[in-house]
């Protein structure tokens, strides 16, 4: 578990004190590091990252960061041991930002009766870059905004375009500088050493043991199947490069953000084209993933409300509303999926689907057949 926090005035300590719920007298200590960065006229606080290792599965831990009168205590529960029929519930949010709508999305996520245990975040976090000179205080305020969830359960993110913070006109030429300083991911666990993405992905897909972890989920930012007028076909170069790998690996679902609306695709692929055979349209494919666009977190740029018409056949459901989604994994064959809109009550499900696992139960689950 990676614990990250910021101390504004002094470095203090990068240590995390933690203990099991039922063993409060046995305190353990993990040692992290801190760093800071400058961006234009801004200097960050001391950004601490500390990895806690050798945690037990399915266990509630208390943990504390800070020194003296600044100590703050939180709690998290570790995931269950891996196994073919272990239930687990993921939330999914993309393009959250920090607006009134973002706040409603996060509240609905926290109040969701399916009780998500970890969050998959599909990129575009703070939207600091929408403020003058990419106002870095917006990264700090975003951290404070999401603390109420991320301090208590794991969130994992992929980078979106709003993490780039490349601004040569004010002398900022190191891409992803704020993001890389602030938001760590467990890339070392996969053996990555800043490995080129295509090399990493090709190897990583072959490593998944579907008996241990039956569900294969891929997360990226710019959607490959998107029928909104916004960002139309921006993911095309990535799709052309990687789509056949995902189909071969029988990926269950792909989560993307970027487009500020919601969309769910049929199981389709578009991998037959060889330049001369004219087979360049998406076709139904039961080995292909379902593509979910959940860029509807509620950021400052507002909703994407223009769509390509008529709705393409590959698009199963689309709606320009803010919300979040839940993947409720039941066992190796079945997972219940739901999309929750901010304008509805907390338990309401505006779009649902039973996912059948592509490796263990590759049966057509589409309702449109």
Asked if residue 218 lies in contact with residue 205, where contact means CB atoms within 8 angstroms, the answer is no
Could you tell me whether strands 253-256 and 290-294 are parallel, antiparallel, or unpaired per DSSP bridges? parallel
State the minimum distance, in angstroms, from the CB of residue 97 to Fe ion: 10
Residue 124 or 252: the one with the smaller Cβ distance to Fe ion is 124
Number of H helices, E strands in the chain: 5, 22
Are 124 and 94 spatial neighbours (Cβ–Cβ below 8 Å)?
yes
- Minimum CB distance to Fe ion smaller for 258 or for 267: 258
CB of 344 to Fe ion, least distance (A): 25
In this chain, which stretch among 152-160, 296-304, 319-327, 354-362 interacts with Fe ion, using CB under 5 A? 152-160
**Phi–psi pair at 80, nearest 5 degrees:** -70, 165
CB of 129 to Fe ion, least distance (A): 11
221 assigned to active site:
no
DSSP assignment of 122-136 equals -S----GGGSGGG-T
DSSP 317-364: EEE---EEEEEEE-SSSEEEEEEEETTS-TT--SEEEEEEPTTT----
Residue 124 makes contact with Fe ion by CB under 5 A: yes
Measured from the CB atom, is 235 or 282 closer to Fe ion?
Answer: 235
Shortest distance in whole angstroms from residue 164 CB to Fe ion: 10
Contact between 328 and Fe ion by CB under 5 A: the answer reads: no
Q: How far is the CB of 368 from Fe ion (least distance, A)?
A: 28
Closest approach of Cβ 353 to Fe ion, in Å?
24
Question: Are residues 46 and 12 in contact, defined by beta-carbon separation less than 8 angstroms?
Answer: yes
CA–CA distance, 163 with 178 (Å, rounded to integer): 8
Burial (CB count within 10 angstroms: exposed 0-12, middle 13-18, buried 19+), residue 92: buried
Nearer to Fe ion, 138 or 258 (CB): 258
Is residue 293 a contact partner of residue 304, using CB atoms and an 8 Å limit?
no
Binding piece for Fe ion, criterion CB under 5 A, among 96-104, 157-165, 208-216, 323-331: 157-165
Q: Which range in 148-156, 186-194, 254-262, 309-317 contacts Fe ion by CB under 5 A? A: 254-262
Which of 258, 267, 340, 341 binds Fe ion (CB under 5 A)? It is: 258
Alpha carbon distance 267, 246 (integer Å): 12
Q: Which is nearer to Fe ion, 3 or 307 (CB)?
A: 307
160 belongs to the binding site for Fe ion (CB under 5 A): yes
For Fe ion, give the closer residue by CB, 160 or 235. Answer: 160
Q: Which helix (H) or strand (E) holds 241?
A: helix 236-248
Q: Which is nearer to Fe ion, 59 or 161 (CB)?
A: 161
Q: Give how many residues touch Fe ion by CB under 5 A.
A: 4
Q: Are the C-beta atoms of 244 and 274 separated by less than 8 Å?
A: no
Q: Which part of the chain contacts Fe ion (CB under 5 A), choosing from 67-75, 257-265, 310-318, 347-355? A: 257-265
- In eight-state DSSP terms, residue 104 is H
Our finding on whether 260 is near Fe ion (CB under 5 A) is no
Chain CA centroid to CA 5, Å: 19
Residue nearest to Fe ion (CB): 258
Determine, following the binding rule CB under 5 A, whether residue 161 of this chain makes contact with Fe ion.
yes
We find the least distance from the C-beta atom of residue 154 to Fe ion, in angstroms, to be: 22
Q: What distances in angstroms separate CA 88 from CA 50, 61, 289, one per listed residue?
A: 25, 18, 19
Please tell me whether residue 235 binds Fe ion under the rule CB under 5 A.
no
Q: Tell me how crowded residue 359 is: count the other CB atoms within 10 A of its CB.
A: 18
Give me the catalytic one of 231, 258, 260, 340.
231
Binding residues vs Fe ion (CB under 5 A): 124, 160-161, 258
Active site residues: 231
């Amino acid at each position: 578990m990676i614990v990250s926090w910021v101390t504004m005035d002094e470095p203090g300590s990068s240590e995390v004190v933690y203990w099991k719920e039922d063993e409060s007298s046995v305190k353990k200590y993990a040692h992290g590091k801190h760093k800071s960065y400058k961006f234009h006229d801004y200097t960050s606080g001391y950004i601490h990252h500390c990895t806690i290792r050798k945690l037990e599965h399915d266990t509630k831990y208390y943990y504390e960061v800070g020194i003296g009168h600044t100590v703050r205590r939180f709690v998290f529960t570790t995931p269950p041991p891996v196994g073919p029929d272990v239930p687990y519930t993921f939330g999914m949010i993309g393009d959250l930002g920090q607006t009134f709508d973002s706040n409603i999305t996060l509240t609905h996520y926290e109040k969701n009766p399916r009780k998500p245990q970890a969050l998959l975040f599909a990129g575009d976090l703070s939207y600091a870059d929408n403020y003058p000179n990419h106002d870095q205080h917006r990264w700090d305020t975003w951290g404070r905004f999401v603390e109420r969830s991320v301090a208590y359960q794991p969130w994992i993110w992929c980078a979106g375009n709003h993490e780039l913070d490349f601004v040569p006109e004010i002398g900022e030429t190191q891409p992803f500088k704020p993001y890389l300083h602030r938001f760590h991911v467990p890339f070392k666990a996969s053996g990555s050493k800043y490995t080129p993405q295509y090399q990493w992905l090709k190897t990583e897909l072959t490593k998944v043991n579907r008996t241990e972890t039956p569900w294969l989920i891929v997360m990226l930012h710019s959607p490959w199947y998107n029928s909104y007028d916004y960002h139309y076909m921006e993911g095309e170069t990535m799709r052309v490069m990687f789509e056949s790998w995902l189909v071969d690996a029988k990926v269950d679902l792909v989560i993307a953000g970027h487009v500020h609306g919601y969309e769910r695709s049929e199981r389709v692929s578009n991998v037959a084209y060889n330049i001369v055979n004219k087979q360049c349209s998406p076709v139904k494919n039961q080995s292909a993933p379902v593509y979910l666009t959940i860029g509807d977190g509620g950021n400052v740029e507002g909703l994407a409300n223009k769509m390509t018409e008529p709705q393409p056949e590959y698009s199963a459901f689309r709606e320009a509303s803010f919300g979040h989604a839940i993947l409720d994994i039941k066992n190796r064959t079945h997972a219940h999926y739901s999309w929750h809109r901010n304008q509805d009550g907390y338990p309401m499900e505006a779009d649902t689907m039973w996912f059948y696992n592509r490796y263990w139960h590759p049966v057509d689950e589409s309702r449109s057949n």
